[in-house]
Structure 1
């Protein structure tokens, strides 16, 4: 490994936007395919390789294939454990995983057992001494409508109280072209009132100004992507003003946006806009398995694309600690960890 690669691998990092099923590595996919040969799924159907571009629709098709491979508690336990260990091996010290609880009639998987299994995986890794603090965001898939959203919020509330601090919030995701945020407002408002933190996918595609405006009024605790918020790409100054006024951090995923064709090239990525504003922005992977990346690569990419120094990238990774959903005491522990690691990263 060259010096740069080593530096970004050793840099302690915070990952706040990682969808569980999209983060499954090729090694784990191979294990899943081996378990379910009757599905006739090939690896090329589950990942988007170097230089390949897909429409957002095609990206969502990839997830459907992965869901077929992950449909039992046993699968989820293996997937979540592998994903957590891979993030840890990549120098991630704090991880918030997110996933939509699913039920599978054929295998007896329920939404409750889905979440319980992810929590088991987190606890198992902790008991094995894996050096990473992991929390979970329960996701609402916007395609499933109002009732399911409310049901998901109630589940998340239960687990927020019973998971010993592991379930910290709620994610709103799914195909951004389906449904309207206004139908989900009551569920999101309820979640917020109950103390769950909100990370919402916003302005992922153009021309959602009205919906974005509505959801920003909640306001959310973090924004996923926010690709089309600023005026230069068809957003508006008033949206930017709301984000800035409420100091809402953005979760930015460079490779995901380029491979998913919502951003034309890395140099056009809105990371630059928010970074120059000095607004809290956290570099994330989105779906490290599907997009064939990891957080070290994303940091390296941001640095080389926008001419940032190692010291700049250290500062970015350290500032990400302030954006996590875990309590203040955890933030203090992480800041201490960063201070302790600084001398060996900049040796």
Structure 2
């Protein structure tokens, strides 16, 4: 049964800046994909991490390999992107930056260029259909594919930045953090920055990335994805924190993803608190709402209940995300105007709603090990 708090968080206007397209596929969309490809013998348990489950980062990346088998054609991408956009809109997200790594699939005729064009087409169709959401796209570099592919991806992103009427706004660096080294990708990232693309870089997802993080912060990035091990209390360093703070680089923080992916031991030990206490710009995000079985309303509710945020705190956190986005300044102004218009309506509708109560149903006790194991699956 939906509570007053549930309604408040869903009505709260939100900005989502760290959403991987293939990881954001909902249960309902996954059903359609599985029905299209029965010969793959894929079950729902192979594509999502349910409540009470945890998996290692390696096991999480095996989940994405399964999902990629289901999404391998232009038709699949169009359906998935449209469903994801409409679902974020239904959750009260008013501005969304999707990200995805373009892929070649010779058996279906899918090329990297067609991949990006299809995502852009999905965004345009949703806008034409009246979806109450502004959507932009970040082309993603998968770090495991090396410098040559990274440069190819950067050039594609540059082409679409110039031809997509403002839809393609930036470049994402992501992929398995245990594979490859960011220093090998610096030329591609520097080219992207020089041509005007914004940079959102996954950084310090694992403890062993201190040297790489120092290099990447010298670019510098426009936003940091996760930043789990940047600060000294978890093995980072004061110099990393100083660089982040001096350059005022916003952090994209994903509570459920980090807890279920075993990079953070519990919600109340999440590094959100470290940065939020320092008044550093933080943006709550889902990462992969389909894989981790969450949505942005739930992430806000988790942050409020775990760290004792008031309605005013939650509202400020939501509105601050606008400035952290890669939207053009006129769009940011329009979004701020929307927030100002919605503020009295949303806050006054639920004056008795206490957002920082104990929502134990949102973060049940998790077992010490994952009850479900996924074996290696080749792409």
CA separation in 2, counterparts of 1:188 and 1:235?
Answer: 23
Give the aligned partner of residue 323 of structure 1: 324
Count residues with an aligned counterpart.
347
Is there any run of 5+ residues in structure 2 with no aligned partner, and where? 349-379
Residue segments in structure 1 that go unaligned for 5+ positions in a row: none
Show the counterpart of 1:71: 72
Q: 1:144 & 1:159 partners in 2: Cα distance?
A: 21
- In the TM superposition, 1:3-22 aligns within 5 A as 3-22=4-23
Distance in 2 separating the partners of 1:210 and 1:50: 35
Secondary structure at 1:41's aligned position in 2?
A: coil
- Paired position in structure 1 for 2:252: 251
After TM superposition, list the pairs within 5 Å mapping 1:161-310 onto structure 2.
161-310=162-311
Q: Once the two structures are superposed, what CA deviation does each residue of 1:151-172 show, in whole Å capped at 9, x if it has no partner? A: 0000000000000000000000
Secondary structure of the 1:325 match is coil
- TM-aligned CA deviation for residue 41 of structure 1: 0.3
3-state DSSP class of the match of 1:212?
helix
Cα deviation, residue 346, structure 1: 1.1
Q: Deviation at 1:207?
A: 1.9
Helix, strand or coil at the partner of 1:346: helix
The Cα of 1:326 is off from its aligned counterpart by 1.3
Q: Distance in 1 between matches of 2:241 and 2:297?
A: 28
Cα displacement string for residues 100-150 of structure 1 (whole angstroms, at most 9, x for unaligned residues): 000101000000000000000000000011000000000000000000000
Distance, in Å, in 1 between the alignment partners of 2:221 and 2:3 is 40
- Counterpart CA distance in 2 for 1:79 and 1:314 is 30
2:57 counterpart residue number: 56
Looking at structure 2, the residues matched to 143 and 319 of structure 1 have their Cα atoms a distance apart, in angstroms, of 33
Matched, 1:143 2:147: no
- Distance in 2 (CA, whole Å) between partners of 1:138 and 1:63 is 17
CA distance in 1, matches of 2:51, 2:96: 25
Q: How many angstroms does 1:222 deviate by?
A: 0.1
Deviation at 1:300, TM superposition (A): 0.1
CA distance in 2, matches of 1:315, 1:3: 20
> What RMSD, in angstroms, separates the aligned Cα atoms of the two structures?
0.4
Q: CA deviation at 1:202?
A: 0.2
Alpha-carbon distance in 2 for matches of 1:160, 1:320: 22
Normalised TM-score (structure 1)? 1.00
Q: In structure 1, what is the Cα distance between the partners aligned to 2:70 and 2:27?
A: 13
SS in 2 for 1:165: coil
Matched residue, 1:339: 340
Q: Offset at 1:343?
A: 1.5
Deviations 1:180-204 (A, max 9, x none): 0000000000000000000000000
Inter-partner Cα distance in structure 2 for 1:183 and 1:67:
26
1:154 is aligned to 155
Residue 38 of structure 1 corresponds to 39
Alignment partners' CA distance in 2, 1:49 and 1:195: 39
**TM-score of the aligned structures, taking structure 2 as reference length:** 0.91
**Other-structure match for 1:96:** 97
Q: Secondary structure at the match of 1:293?
A: coil
- Give, in whole Å, the separation in 2 of the partners of 1:296 and 1:216: 30
Q: Distance in 2 between matches of 1:346 and 1:127?
A: 30
Name the counterpart of 1:119. Answer: 120
Equivalent-residue separation in structure 1 for 2:345 and 2:131 (angstroms): 20
